[in-house]
Chain A
Amino acid sequence: MKRNIRDTFEPLTSGVIKNNATFRLVLGTCPTLAVTTAALNGLYMGLATTFVLVCSNAIISLLRKIIPRKVRIPAYILVIATFSTIVEMVMRKFLPDLYEVMGLFIALIVVNCILLARAESFSSLNPLLPSVMDGLGIGLGFTMSLTLLGLVREFFGAGSFFGLTVGFMQNLKMTVFILPAGGFMVYGLMMVLYNLVVGELEKKIEAYKNRKYIALTNPLLAEQEEAEQARRRGLFGGNK
């Protein structure tokens, strides 16, 4: 079926909010908990993962017709591992100071479940451009949620904000947030918050879309709706 423009870009937008890797699909939780001891680490990890994810999604979607079903996992893993090793080597040689900071994370990317999950569920079934878009969307969503988690854990755990120590937090800081136990807890609570905010938002949008559609099908209801709107506008002094 012909993919119109909206379809190709849809994975990009849905990847960030609708099926955000960390909070909605609950994938890539190993690095999420291990790395988000500081917001900057979360950011670096997210960006590194996004890059490798986009490249591996692209290659896997190109090879999708060639790789037989039975050996698909080892093949995908080979592609992913090759990419992350290449990124590590190139960075070690040409960007030594960045490598000093991010070296540890690049090695962690290979074991990140997101890459294989997206390869298996999306890019092995779709053509090149949507897969790249999906990689980008999921990657950016992952970066956003990782930085968010890092921010919270760093603020409460180490009393600093993106590395700069925050004065009043110094005697309040609880290192439990940096430890694994705190990691799980913050991840759980943030997920509740996320579902609360995004869930309500989506319900409103869904209801609004249905409402707009229904006004078309049922003239009488549409009139009642307009009367309702006018009454409410009259009640609140009506904006311009």
Chain B
Amino acid sequence: MPYVMLLIINAVFVNNFVLSRFLGICPFLGVSRKTDTALGMGFAVIFVMGVASVITYALNLALVAAGIEYLRTIAFILVIACLIQLVEIFVKKFSPSLYSALGVYLPLITTNCAVLGVAIMNVTELATTNVLYSFINGVASGVGFTIAILILAGIREKMEVADIPERFKGFPITLTAASLIAMAFAAFSGLTF
């Protein structure tokens, strides 16, 4: 049990996927305009990361057994792309509003480095023999991603009404805000396990 807690704290705070490992920045900047779309995006990423972790874990066993390590990246990203396609179909069917809000950014989750990053990290660094740990790590990283994107979305909503210099409007001010959040999260880098 303590190992799991450490795993979660590590994935959410210490090695937060967006703020310290620089993965998944495109949707992080793109979709964080409003908190509800950010939340929708966060849940989609959590779902995909969780399922992807389990499937890629099993897939990796097959690849290692077959001895074809080089296929790992392409197999993983194919699985993730198909998963995203399924998520897109479900979201389009069951919540059109979220679908129109996410819109162009839903396919971008596919190339989302975070999802592939989790998949590969589960296999290389974590190298656990227990699929449950990689699932928990996937979900925890998704939660870390959601927390980061929610914080930024909250700030960006405040910034809509703030008086920002002309040139800073749009992405530059978002990046500066993200930089401050990253600085805050850097405080967690002390507690390693």
Q: Are A and B direct contacts in the complex by CB distance below 8 Å?
A: yes
| A112 to B, closest residue via Cβ | B111
Contact A188 B74 (CB under 8 A): no
Q: Which of A29, A84, A89 contacts B25 (CB 8 A)?
A: A29
Contact B78 A111 (CB under 8 A): no
Task: Mark each residue of chain A from 152 to 195: 1 if its CB lies under 8 Å from any CB of chain B, else 0.
Answer: 00000000000000000000000010011111110111011001
Q: Which of B26, B77, B117, B172 contacts A188 (CB 8 A)?
A: B172
Q: Which of A31, A74, A180, A191 contacts B78 (CB 8 A)?
A: A74
Q: Which of B26, B82, B113, B182 contacts A180 (CB 8 A)?
A: B182
| B105 to A, closest residue via Cβ | A113
A75-83, A133-141, A201-209, A214-222 - interface stretch: A75-83
B6-14, B16-24, B46-54, B56-64 - interface stretch: B16-24
A1-9, A97-105, A114-122, A226-234 - interface stretch: A114-122
Contact B70 A89 (CB under 8 A): yes
Contact B179 A192 (CB under 8 A): no
**Distance (Å) between the CB of A63 and the closest chain B CB?**
16
B149 close to chain A: CB less than 8 A: no
Q: How far is the CA of A115 from the CA of B107 in the complex (A)?
A: 12
Q: How far is the CA of A108 from the CA of B120 in the complex (A)?
A: 12
Contacts A85-B74, A185-B179 known; A70 to B85 CB distance under 8 Å? yes
| A114 to B, closest residue via Cβ | B111
Q: How far is the CA of A181 from the CA of B20 in the complex (A)?
A: 8
Contact A120 B77 (CB under 8 A): no
Q: Which of B77, B172, B179 contacts A181 (CB 8 A)?
A: B179
Q: Which of B70, B108, B179 contacts A117 (CB 8 A)?
A: B108
Q: How far is the CA of A235 from the CA of B186 in the complex (A)?
A: 60
Contact A73 B85 (CB under 8 A): yes
Residues of A within 8 A of B100 (CB): none
In this complex, the member of B22, B84, B107, B186 whose beta carbon has the largest number of chain A beta carbons within 10 angstroms is B22
B141 close to chain A: CB less than 8 A: no
In this complex, the member of B111, B116, B167 whose beta carbon has the largest number of chain A beta carbons within 10 angstroms is B111
Contact B77 A110 (CB under 8 A): yes
Q: How far is the CA of A3 from the CA of B171 in the complex (A)?
A: 34
Task: Mark each residue of chain B from 150 to 162: 1 if its CB lies under 8 Å from any CB of chain A, else 0.
Answer: 0000000000000
A107 close to chain B: CB less than 8 A: yes
| B28 to A, closest residue via Cβ | A29
Q: How far is the CA of A71 from the CA of B20 in the complex (A)?
A: 33
In this complex, the member of A110, A183, A184, A196 whose beta carbon has the largest number of chain B beta carbons within 10 angstroms is A184
Q: Which of B25, B108, B110, B179 contacts A182 (CB 8 A)?
A: B179
A129 close to chain B: CB less than 8 A: no
**Distance (Å) between the CB of B173 and the closest chain A CB?**
7
Task: Mark each residue of chain B from 132 to 149: 1 if its CB lies under 8 Å from any CB of chain A, else 0.
Answer: 000000000000000000
B102 close to chain A: CB less than 8 A: no
Q: How far is the CA of A84 from the CA of B176 in the complex (A)?
A: 32
Q: How far is the CA of A117 from the CA of B107 in the complex (A)?
A: 9
* Further 8 A-B residue pairs, CB within 8 A, beyond A81-B73, A180-B20, A188-B174: A26-B30, A73-B81, A111-B113, A113-B112, A181-B179, A181-B182, A185-B179, A188-B179
- Nearest 6 CB-CB pairs, A to B? A188-B175, A184-B179, A111-B113, A185-B179, A74-B81, A34-B22
25 sampled A-B residue pairs with Cβ under 8 A: A26-B30, A26-B171, A29-B26, A29-B29, A30-B24, A30-B26, A30-B113, A34-B21, A73-B107, A74-B78, A74-B85, A77-B78, A77-B81, A85-B70, A116-B107, A181-B180, A183-B179, A185-B176, A188-B175, A188-B178, A188-B179, A192-B168, A192-B172, A195-B167, A195-B172
